[in-house]
Amino acid sequence: MNRSFVSSADLRGLTAAFRGSLTCQKRFWAKPKKRPKVGPGFHEKAQKWRDEYLLDRHRVLADSLRAYVDFSSTKRVEPWDTRFAPFDRVEKDGVYILTRYLMDDKLQLCNYHHRPVKRMLCNVGLMGPQVTTTARWKPYRFATNPANTTRAERTFTKDKTVFTEALPATSKVRTPKRQEAKKYLPDTHTSESADASSVHSDESVVMENSREREDAVLLEGCDLSGDALKSFLQKNFVDYIEDELFDVAALEAVED
pLDDT (tens place) for every residue of the chain, 256 residues total:
565 555 666 666 655 555 555 566 778 898 888 888 888 899 899 999 999 998 988 888 888 888 777 776 777 666 566 665 555 555 444 444 455 556 777 777 888 777 787 777 665 554 444 444 444 444 444 555 445 545 544 444 555 555 555 555 555 545 555 555 555 655 555 555 555 555 545 555 554 555 565 665 555 655 556 777 777 777 766 655 554 555 666 667 766 6
| Percentage helix, strand, coil for the chain under 3-state DSSP, each rounded to 5 | 50, 0, 50
The pTM of the whole model exceeds 0.75 = no
Task: Report whether 207 contacts 198 (CB < 8 A).
Answer: no
| Angstrom distance (rounded) from CA 138 to CA 69 | 11
